Each structure stands twice: as structure tokens, then as C-alpha cells.
Structure 1
Amino acid sequence: MKGIVLVLNAGSSSLKFAAFEAGEGALPARCAGQIEGIGAAPRFTARDAGGAKIAERDWQGGGAPASHAAALGEIIGWLEGALQGAPVIAVGHRVVHGGPDFAEPMLIDLGIMAELQELVALAPLHQPHNLAGITAAARRFRGVPQVACFDTAFHRTQPPVADTFGLPPAFHAQGIRRYGFHGLSYEYIARRIAEEDAALGAGRLVVAHLGNGASLCGILDGRSQGSSMGFTALDGLPMGTRCGQLDPGVVLHMIDTLKMSTAEVTKLLYNGSGLKGMSGISQDVREIEAAGGPAAEAALAYFAHRVKREIAALAAALGGIDALIFTAGIGENARGLRARICEGLDFMGLRLDAARNAANAPEIGQDGAPVRILVRRTDEERMIAAHTMRVVTAARAA
């Protein structure tokens, strides 16, 4: 099959895209970009395969897209020129929550869409927009196969002790379990490390996906053994606006004693907590570091502390650690936070090289240290494209 595999990643106010050339073997990237600020002040940017900016627009003169469907129309209109008439032969979508039943990428049909709609309550910040992107693409590309790639699927290899809560088994049977998220990112990193170093790829990896959404995953022989996130994407680390791990008694207290409604609690925990809520400044680490002050320092210190705890916990679950890998926006770029996180972990064999860390080198640990410390760029879009091509090819061969 020749043509373009289009990848869409729909967020609450953004629509990211990437285009890859379909064919035998590798999937060369053609271009990528996004429209952010949908519904407010949209801004379109696109880059070529080398990362150079090739398009930009902010609609200050009016006519800005106010929905994901409208944003997709703008993207497709631009792509028609950029791709020089190459046909889109498949569309791959990131879907945050696959529930207990979706453990691998799936061709999307009406039945699948109905099942995914039932999972909206488990990922309210993401799932509705993922599904909106699918609907918009189905209208735009009639007859073109679409594939859902799930952030939870990678974690379905977790052992029972990492998959369950301390509740009666009936709740687990109803789907109340630890799902884990950011699976497409973890899968990409696990495969990349295995390609670079087969022995390390088969070893005990703790991967820190640190961005506006943040989590850690313990990986053994390329398979997830545990994640800091659980039933929803609220659990585990503090994030840009999400609280992370919280005593459930706090929620009961908010509802019963403080008389907060469930809607108020939901808004607080998803949108008003984490780095933004603690610092009172921003969810952006760069802005928090630049602002300084006691609240900013407390927010950054808490974030680093929780990451450090999860690293140790996952190392214990894996029976040791061979490498710590930082990825995603904060993990790939926030040198100061990486230093905070690694400080005091010498007892685990993690020894940061300050100069390498400051230079943002691919390997930032000291030579000869028992545990390697790596920085790798994640590429969820490429992982989605690979899955999409595989699923579509198999479907056509069946």
C-alpha cells in the first residue's frame, strides 16, 4: 500500500497531527504539527520531517476554527497542498482509555465507538476529544480505515498484584482496576532502547514520562510490570493541573464536610491542582522556575519528591533497575528538575553527571555507575502510525 498514514491526537483544546509515508518497511515522516487553543485563540503550526517550521497561522483576522471538526478541516486543507496529492490510506488515533477489553489497536466501527463512549467518565479530560477527532475524521475521509491505539493497552501485561486494588474481587470484575496510561510513549521507548542495546532492552527499565500529564512505568523485557497511574489519569505523580496520588478520605471529606459537589471536586482535582494549583503560577515548569518564590519552590520540590518515590517503588517491583529513562516535555528538557529527582538516589546506583545533564546529553549518568540514566525523545505518533499500518495491512489480507 502506498499513500499517507495520518495520525491524529486530539486533546481538550488541541489537535496534533503527523503524516507518514506508507510502504514497505519504515514509515518516513513527511510533516507534523498542531492546532492549539481550539475554542479560544487557535494557532496552527507545522514542521517538516527535519523539525523546521514550514507553516504558521493565528487567525487574528477572523474565521478561526471553533471545534475539533473545524480544526481538522483546516489541517486537511493545508495537508492537501503539503502532501502534493498523495492519498490518505489510513488514519490512526490516540485513544487514552481502552478499559479492560481493548488490549491492542483496533479497527474502528460503530460498535467500537459505542464501547469507547462508555469509558468517557474514566478519562474526562481526554476521551471526549479523542472520540470527537475520530468522528471528524470519519466524516472527512469516508471509506478510509481508522484505527484506535490505546494508551492503556501496553499495561495489560501487568501482573495481578499491579493490576488490582484492595477491594472485593467483584469490583475488579466490574472493571475497577489499575489501567496505567501513556502506554504508547512507553511502548515506543521500550522498542527504541531494545533497538539501541538488546541486552538493556531486555532488562529492568524505569521510564519517567514527565509532561503536563506525568507517570512512571516499570518495564521488564519490554513489557509493563507496573505504572504510577491507576484507574484514571489522576493517580500517581502530581501533574500540570492534576493532583496525583490522594488519600480517598480527602475526597470523602471534601464532599461530606466541606459540602463540595462532585463536579466541584472533579474540577479541583483535574484542573486546579498539581503544579498549577500548588505554585499558584502556572502548570509550565519553565514559568514556575522563572517566577521563583516559596510556593514555586514547594511545588517543584513536591513534584521531584513524588517522582523519586515512584522510581524506588518501581525498582523494588522489578527486583532492581538497570536504567532510568527520562522522556516527554519535562523529562526531555527540564534539566533542573532532573537534577532534583536524581539527587539522593546514589544508594540505588543512580549517579547524575551534572555537565552532561546541563548539556541535555542522551546519557546523563556518570561513567561506570551501576545504573544508566538516559534522556530519549518519545514519539507516540510514530508508534500509532506503525500500529495503524499493521492493523490495516492485516485486515486487507484477511
Structure 2
Amino acid sequence: MTVNAGSSSIKLDIFTANQRLYTLRIIGLGQGEIQIRVTEPDKETVNATIQIDADQPIEQKLYDTLEQSGYLQNVDTISHRIVQAGPRSQQAETITDELVRELETYIPLDPGHLTRSLRLIDLFRKNLPGVLHVVCYDTAYFHNLPRVAQLLSVPNQGADPAFRRYGFHGLSYAYLQQAFQEYAGDVAVNGRVIYAHLGSGASLAATRSGKPVDTTMGFSPASGIVMSTRSGDIDPSLAWYMHTKYDVDEESFKHMVNFESGLLGVSGRSADMHRLLQEQDQHAGSRDAVALFVYNVQKAIGSLATTIGGLDSLIFSGGIGEQSSEIRQRVCQNLDFLGITVDTKLNSVHEKCISSESSRVGVHVIPTDESMVMCRLAKGIIGQKEILG
């Protein structure tokens, strides 16, 4: 089973070998009730609502529901996603008490994600002590970025090893890179590639010779391009201005840039790209939010292309990147100087390759699957344990 915990949602996938049996999405965390959506291959999605008392631990109630529903039967390995664990984030590993204590020291780096992830790890380890528990780091993919791409332009970086640009969505990029290799071959995947993971959280990454060279997210998942509710990169002086003029304190500012900004903040209406696209002709805020998102993605592609000496392939993924032909079309409109042209018809029907015959750059749409990577990493650790006996 894979456990992917977010600040307001949790996704669980249950596998046998490499075959997915169930997907459970738990949404509405932090509210009075949570919804569980269960999806099985070739079957309709089943929805259930669970009432949560104000003083009731959400994680325990969730575990009880999963156990009573039979979803935890025969689970022998649980693979947990950790978004941020500072310099520890190098490779998947078995969870131990010592590791948990170390991970707790990194909570200040990402309290929104890491706190819930650690609560879930503690819950599953206590209730399922005979199960192998594995942790997969979302930043591991970028651990060996070129040094210049790791640097932050602040003093005293050497005094704290946590001071660096990390990059995120690494599990997604690992999956996309392997999927692109299987689809297009070694020459393509080892060329100059930009992957665009465009979802509620959004980032882009550039690779050359199959290795990550740079990415848009840096020290935290709130950095980079505009996202659904996250601000992306903003001038640091904004925090001081809002504090002195509007008495916005540290916690309020942190909440604002993570949960009230991005598409939601610019539009004043919604963080949902689908809704904004529907309303953009009638509502100026929605129109501005969509335009800013497209503009940010275009700038990121142009910037990242310079880090890898040009561009051979552009990969769209994530909920927006996979599902919105309009966003893909608009992003690529002003990138003909890089050799990108899109076939409108192929794009409109969401073909895997949407570039035109005259395009010098291959433009592709590949669905991502972080849970599959977590499953494979857990299997790798199981294999190592079997070899070591």
C-alpha cells in the first residue's frame, strides 16, 4: 500500500505486484467531515462520507474506517511519501524509530505536509507492527542537482545543511522519465527534456543526459510558478510590507502564500482551473488567473531551456497538463522560437504526441503515477532484504 499525504487530502493505493487493486482518495481533511472515494479498475467510483468530531483524531478515525472496510487485509508493505526531509532526502529507506526522530527535526521545513505524514507513519506502525514500512522522499530525484542550481542567495548557507534548493514532485518526475523512455526510447529521454507537472501543485523540471539540471521549485513547495492556492515566487519584501501596513503576522502570511494565493488569490473565485477556464470570458479575475498561469509556465520553459542548451522534448503531465488542451495550446503559442509547434487537432483529442510534423521539438502528454514509483521503490527494498537474508 502507498500512502501519499497532503495538507488537506490523502491518497492511498493498494497493489499486488505491479497491479493496482484500489485507489482511495480522502479529501476534506481539517473540515467537519471527510469524504472517501474508492476506485477499482473497470468499476464505478464509490463515495462515502465520514463525520469527524472536533476533538477526534482524524488519522485514527481514518484508520478505523479502512480496517473495518477490509482494505488493510493482506497488506504486507506500506510505502509512505515524504514531501520534505531536508538533507536526509536521498533514497527510499526502511522506517525505524531513529529515522522518525530525525524526520521530526525537519518539521520546520514543511509543517503542512510532514506533520501529517509522521502522524500517519506512527499510526500505521503501531497498528500494523508486522508490516514493512518504507519512506520515499519527493526531493530525492533532485538531490544531486548541479551545485549552482542548489544555491540560495542568502548568507551562512554552510552553517545549516538544510539551506538549499530542493525541488519537489520528484516521484512524479521519476515516473515520467521512465514512461518517456519506454515510449520514445533512450535517445529521446537522454536529450534535452522539460517535464511540466501542472496540477494543483505545479512545477517544471529540466533534464539532460537523463539527469535533472534544474527545476522551478526551490526551498519549499510554495515556490516556483503560480499554483492553485500557492503563490509561487514572490518578492520577499511583500512579507515586510504586509506586516507593517496590514499587521499580517508570520503564520497569517504563511497561510496566505500556501492556501489563499495562486489561482484562487488572483481570480478571487476559485482554485480550480476547469472552472476558471469556463468563466474567463465573463469574469476578469478568472481571465487574469488563467493568463498568469500560462505566462508563468511559458517563462519557466524558456528559462529552463537555457540551462540545458535548448530543447528536444516537452512533456505535459499533472491534472491540468493532462486534461486541459486549452492550457497546453496557450502555453506553446509563443514558444515557436524554441521550435515548438502544436497540432491543434491532436491536442484537442489529447493524443500522446501533440506536436505538429514541422515541430523541431516533440511535445507529449504523459499521465503521471507517483504511487507506482512508491510501489517500485518499496519492492526494491524488499528485494534488498531478501538478498541480505
TM-score, normalised with respect to structure 2: 0.93
* Structure 2: gaps of 5 or more residues: none
Specify the alignment match of 1:120 in structure 2.
107
Matched, 1:199 2:187: yes
Matched, 1:235 2:223: yes
Matched, 1:28 2:23: no
Matched, 1:359 2:359: no
1:29 aligned partner, one-letter code: R
Specify the alignment match of 2:49 in structure 1.
58
2:212 aligned partner, one-letter code: S
2: distance between equivalents of 1:14 and 1:77?
20
Instruction: After TM superposition, give the deviation of residue 54 of structure 1 in Å.
Output: 5.2
Instruction: After TM superposition, give the deviation of residue 173 of structure 1 in Å.
Output: 4.2
For residues 293-342 of structure 1, give each alpha carbon's deviation from its aligned partner in whole angstroms, at most 9, with x where no partner exists: 11111111011101101111111101111111111111111121112211
Distance 1:176 1:54, change over 3 A: same
Q: Is the 8 A contact 1:195 1:201 kept in 2?
A: no
Instruction: After TM superposition, give the deviation of residue 183 of structure 1 in Å.
Output: 0.2
What does 1:123-272 correspond to in 2, within 5 Å?
A: 123-168=110-155, 170-171=157-158, 173-196=160-183, 197-272=185-260
What does 1:92-107 correspond to in 2, within 5 Å?
A: 92-107=79-94
Q: Is the 8 A contact 1:191 1:222 kept in 2?
A: no
Distance 1:14 1:346, change over 3 A: same
2: distance between equivalents of 1:184 and 1:95?
10
For residues 144-163 of structure 1, give each alpha carbon's deviation from its aligned partner in whole angstroms, at most 9, with x where no partner exists: 11111011100012100111
2: distance between equivalents of 1:136 and 1:170?
35
Specify the alignment match of 2:28 in structure 1.
37
1: distance between equivalents of 2:63 and 2:206?
36
Specify the alignment match of 1:3 in structure 2.
none
- What is the RMSD of the two structures over their aligned residues, measured on CA atoms? 2.1
Instruction: After TM superposition, give the deviation of residue 222 of structure 1 in Å.
Output: 2.6
Identify which range, 189-198 or 373-382, moves more after superposition.
189-198
Matching residue within 2, 8, 14 for 1:7: 2
Distance 1:164 1:188, change over 3 A: same
Matched, 1:393 2:371: no
Identify which range, 107-116 or 294-303, moves more after superposition.
107-116
Aligned residues: 383
Instruction: After TM superposition, give the deviation of residue 47 of structure 1 in Å.
Output: 1.7
Q: Is the 8 A contact 1:154 1:184 kept in 2?
A: yes
Matching residue within 300, 321, 334 for 1:331: 321
Q: Is the 8 A contact 2:340 2:362 kept in 1?
A: yes
Specify the alignment match of 1:75 in structure 2.
66
1: distance between equivalents of 2:147 and 2:119?
33
1:138 aligned partner, one-letter code: R
Distance 1:43 1:258, change over 3 A: closer
Instruction: After TM superposition, give the deviation of residue 169 of structure 1 in Å.
Output: 5.3
Specify the alignment match of 2:312 in structure 1.
322
Instruction: After TM superposition, give the deviation of residue 212 of structure 1 in Å.
Output: 0.8
Instruction: After TM superposition, give the deviation of residue 14 of structure 1 in Å.
Output: 2.2
Instruction: After TM superposition, give the deviation of residue 58 of structure 1 in Å.
Output: 2.3
Matched, 1:275 2:270: no
Q: Is the 8 A contact 1:328 1:377 kept in 2?
A: yes
Identify which range, 197-206 or 52-61, moves more after superposition.
52-61
2: distance between equivalents of 1:387 and 1:271?
31
Instruction: After TM superposition, give the deviation of residue 290 of structure 1 in Å.
Output: 2.1
1:249 aligned partner, one-letter code: S
2: distance between equivalents of 1:314 and 1:389?
33
User: Secondary structure of 1:189's partner?
Assistant: helix
Q: Is the 8 A contact 2:150 2:166 kept in 1?
A: yes
Instruction: After TM superposition, give the deviation of residue 288 of structure 1 in Å.
Output: 1.4
Distance 1:181 1:53, change over 3 A: same
2: distance between equivalents of 1:171 and 1:299?
38
2: distance between equivalents of 1:61 and 1:160?
46
2: distance between equivalents of 1:258 and 1:42?
34
Specify the alignment match of 1:306 in structure 2.
296
Matched, 1:286 2:277: no
2: distance between equivalents of 1:28 and 1:368?
39
1:266 aligned partner, one-letter code: K
Percent sequence identity over aligned pairs = 29
1: distance between equivalents of 2:239 and 2:45?
47
Q: Is the 8 A contact 1:154 1:223 kept in 2?
A: no
For residues 354-397 of structure 1, give each alpha carbon's deviation from its aligned partner in whole angstroms, at most 9, with x where no partner exists: 11111111111112311011111100000000001111321343
Instruction: After TM superposition, give the deviation of residue 137 of structure 1 in Å.
Output: 1.3
1:244 aligned partner, one-letter code: G
